[in-house]
């Protein structure tokens, strides 16, 4: 199916998210869509898949102008989209999710649907139990389910909006295999990403957006460097990490066990000094979040002792952890970190350590203005946080942190951010480290773990390996540990 977008425009209030965008995509190819945070990628893809209405422009499928008033119409014409945030229904069973959107309504033939699901599973080598609850699937499996659902609805053009955020390396390899297979079968894949390496490995062509406009197109063979130049207009200087002298111990974990209803990770021992950076590696959901939350005082460890700056903290409430200079930045920026519905000024007021009874709004607004400038947030004091792009939400979160922090706990600090924002975030973090802040962060990106950690803690299958020195560890060693090798009981 030959796809052509002509002169697409879309405004959100004053924001011109898509400006006269022209894009042509041949069938049977993988087409990359790249661009910094807020460039307009998701907007363009939602226009194409009927989730939002464009202000002007044309969509042509095989030369025919089409008009999608809803995602259902788009999928009937063969265009389906996997969103940045999954749109499935976790409380439902796999098979019921698979049935969503079918024409035959509620009285569906489950036997036939099950057979369909089996057929697609066999075709792609997926292994998903039709009767499992969607909530029990990994992010990668939920993607697989969504791919099969869209195919069963007749999708010929499949749009993937940042599908490699939040999945493990084996799942990514599987996903790429699937995408190549889809292409061989004549499907068109549009692949939205920030990861240049992924684009280089996978895409036949790449289109780059900046500030809502197409700024470049390039066809294979191309290199990641060429993409960086197209995206940012220049090559980015590699960040330099100074060696610093570590200070006194800030955090001491003595044989702690962290657990929730489905996972228990025993015997974690770790001492972290001022100015030290610890990276938490491992497949998503292996206990990294549990450890971060325990260190933040949000969940209590079920055994062992947590010492912060010489005080045992086990029974202390979260507020005492704050008093001790501990800060936690969650991965779910909008659900846990920020308050949707409130604007930036209101956030800065809420984040004050010593609340005042009366709010001086004028002063608060000019303070917000200052922070927005300092942290290069694309927004104004009255911008609601939910309308900021992902990268700008992360900048806002960092702007809300107190100046003097002894221990900073970060869950996926750069997930979903473009390279420039990622480097910006780390510049801020390394600056804090220079002031003596100890940092513990989790990441699914091994390059990030290696680049910024002094020591690495690997989580796998309910166990944690002894902290490794990043400078003395190879990618292969880390990969083996993440896969569970050498992490048997007693290690």
Question: Among Mg ion, ligand ATP, none, what does residue 39 contact (CB within 5–8 Å per kind)?
Answer: ligand ATP
Q: How far is the CB of 15 from ligand ATP (least distance, A)?
A: 5
With CB under 6 A as the contact rule, the residue among 3, 5, 17, 208 that binds ligand ATP is 17
Question: Among ligand ATP, Mg ion, none, what does residue 35 contact (CB within 5–8 Å per kind)?
Answer: ligand ATP
Burial 48-71 (b: 16+ CB within 10 A, else e): bbbbbebeebebebeeeebebeeb
Question: Among Mg ion, ligand ATP, none, what does residue 50 contact (CB within 5–8 Å per kind)?
Answer: none
Q: How far is the CB of 313 from Mg ion (least distance, A)?
A: 39
With respect to ligand ATP, which residue has the nearer C-beta, 210 or 324?
210
Question: Among Mg ion, ligand ATP, none, what does residue 40 contact (CB within 5–8 Å per kind)?
Answer: ligand ATP
**What is the Cα–Cα distance from 83 to 4, expressed in whole angstroms?**
21
Both tokens assigned to 130 = 């039709």
The conformation of residue 334, written as its DSSP 8-state character, comes to I
Q: How far is the CB of 391 from ligand ATP (least distance, A)?
A: 6
Q: How far is the CB of 5 from ligand ATP (least distance, A)?
A: 14
With respect to ligand ATP, which residue has the nearer C-beta, 160 or 450?
160
Burial 400-427 (b: 16+ CB within 10 A, else e): bbeeebbbbbbbbbbbbbbbbbbebbbe
Query: Which positions from 29 to 58 touch ligand ATP by CB under 6 A, shown as an x/- string?
Result: ------x-xxxxxxx---------------
With respect to ligand ATP, which residue has the nearer C-beta, 37 or 188?
37
The conformation of residue 471, written as its DSSP 8-state character, comes to G
Which is nearest to 198 in space by CA: 224, 233, 229? 224
**What is the Cα–Cα distance from 225 to 202, expressed in whole angstroms?**
16
Query: Which positions from 23 to 62 touch Mg ion by CB under 5 A, shown as an x/- string?
Result: -------------------x--------------------
Question: Among ligand ATP, Mg ion, none, what does residue 330 contact (CB within 5–8 Å per kind)?
Answer: none
Which is nearest to 160 in space by CA: 60, 34, 336? 34
Query: Which positions from 359 to 398 touch ligand ATP by CB under 6 A, shown as an x/- string?
Result: ----------------------------xxxxx-------
Q: Which residue is nearest to Mg ion (CB)?
A: 42
With respect to ligand ATP, which residue has the nearer C-beta, 45 or 137?
45
Question: Among ligand ATP, Mg ion, none, what does residue 391 contact (CB within 5–8 Å per kind)?
Answer: ligand ATP
**What is the Cα–Cα distance from 400 to 398, expressed in whole angstroms?**
5
Q: Does 15 bind ligand ATP (CB under 6 A)?
A: yes
Phi-psi region of 365 (alpha: psi -120 to 50; beta: other; left: phi over 0): alpha
Question: Among ligand ATP, Mg ion, none, what does residue 288 contact (CB within 5–8 Å per kind)?
Answer: none
With respect to Mg ion, which residue has the nearer C-beta, 143 or 286?
143
SS (H, E, C) 183-237: HHCCCEEEEECCCHHHHHHHCCEEEEEECCEEEEEEECCCCHHHHHHHHHCCCCC
Q: How far is the CB of 240 from Mg ion (least distance, A)?
A: 30
**What is the Cα–Cα distance from 368 to 345, expressed in whole angstroms?**
5
Q: How far is the CB of 161 from Mg ion (least distance, A)?
A: 6
145 near 98, Cβ under 8 Å? yes
With respect to ligand ATP, which residue has the nearer C-beta, 193 or 473?
193
**What is the Cα–Cα distance from 466 to 438, expressed in whole angstroms?**
18
Which is nearest to 10 in space by CA: 71, 70, 57? 57
Question: Among ligand ATP, Mg ion, none, what does residue 287 contact (CB within 5–8 Å per kind)?
Answer: none
With respect to ligand ATP, which residue has the nearer C-beta, 171 or 389?
389
Number of neighbouring beta carbons within 10 Å of residue 255: 12
428 near 403, Cβ under 8 Å? no
Binding site residues, Mg ion, CB under 5 A: 42
Binding site residues, ligand ATP, CB under 6 A: 12, 15, 17, 35, 37-43, 387-391
């Amino acid at each position: 199916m030959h796809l052509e977008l002509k002169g697409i425009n879309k405004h959100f209030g004053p924001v011109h998210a898509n400006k006269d965008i022209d894009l042509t995509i041949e069938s049977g190819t993988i087409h990359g869509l790249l661009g910094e945070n807020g460039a307009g990628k998701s907007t363009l893809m939602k226009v194409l898949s009927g989730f939002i209405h464009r202000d002007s422009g044309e969509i042509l499928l095989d030369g025919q102008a089409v008009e999608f008033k809803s995602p259902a119409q788009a999928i009937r014409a063969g265009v389906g989209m996997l969103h940045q945030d999954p749109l499935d229904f976790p409380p439902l069973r796999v098979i019921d999710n698979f049935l969503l959107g079918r024409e035959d309504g509620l009285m569906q033939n489950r036997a036939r649907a099950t057979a369909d699901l089996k057929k697609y599973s066999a075709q792609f080598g997926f292994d998903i139990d039709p009767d499992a609850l969607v909530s029990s699937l990994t992010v990668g499996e939920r993607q697989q389910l969504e791919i099969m659902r869209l195919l069963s609805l007749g999708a010929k053009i499949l749009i993937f909006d940042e599908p490699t955020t939040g999945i493990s390396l084996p799942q990514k390899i599987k996903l790429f295999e699937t995408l190549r297979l889809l292409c061989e079968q004549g499907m068109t894949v549009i692949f939205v990403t920030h990861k240049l390496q992924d684009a280089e490995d996978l895409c036949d062509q790449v289109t780059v957006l900046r500030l809502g406009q197409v700024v470049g197109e390039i066809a294979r063979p191309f290199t990641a460097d060429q993409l960086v130049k197209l995206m940012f207009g220049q090559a980015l200087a590699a960040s330099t990490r100074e060696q610093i002298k570590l200070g006194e111990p800030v955090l001491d974990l003595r044989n702690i066990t962290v657990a929730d209803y489905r996972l228990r990770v025993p015997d974690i021992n770790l001492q972290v000094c001022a100015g030290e950076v610890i990276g938490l590696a491992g497949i998503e959901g292996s206990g990294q979040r549990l450890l971060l939350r325990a260190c933040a005082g949000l969940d209590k460890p079920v055994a062992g002792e947590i010492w912060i700056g010489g005080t045992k903290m086990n029974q202390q409430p979260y507020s005492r952890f704050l008093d001790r200079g501990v800060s936690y930045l969650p991965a779910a920026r909008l659900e846990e970190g920020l308050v949707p519905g409130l604007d930036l000024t209101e956030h800065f007021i809420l984040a004050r350590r010593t609340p005042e009874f009366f709010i001086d709004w004028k002063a608060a607004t000019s303070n917000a203005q200052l922070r927005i400038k300092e942290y290069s947030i694309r927004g104004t004091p009255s911008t609601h946080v939910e309308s900021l792009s992902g990268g700008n939400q992360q900048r806002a979160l960092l702007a809300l942190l107190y100046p003097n922090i002894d221990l900073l706990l970060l869950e996926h600090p750069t997930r979903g951010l473009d390279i420039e924002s990622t480097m910006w975030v780390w510049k801020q973090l390394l600056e804090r480290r220079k002031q003596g802040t100890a940092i513990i962060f989790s990441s699914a990106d091994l390059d990030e773990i290696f680049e910024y950690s002094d020591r690495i803690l690997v989580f796998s299958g309910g166990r944690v390996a002894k902290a490794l020195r990043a400078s003395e560890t190879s990618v292969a060693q880390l990969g083996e540990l993440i896969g569970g090798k050498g992490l048997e009981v007693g290690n």
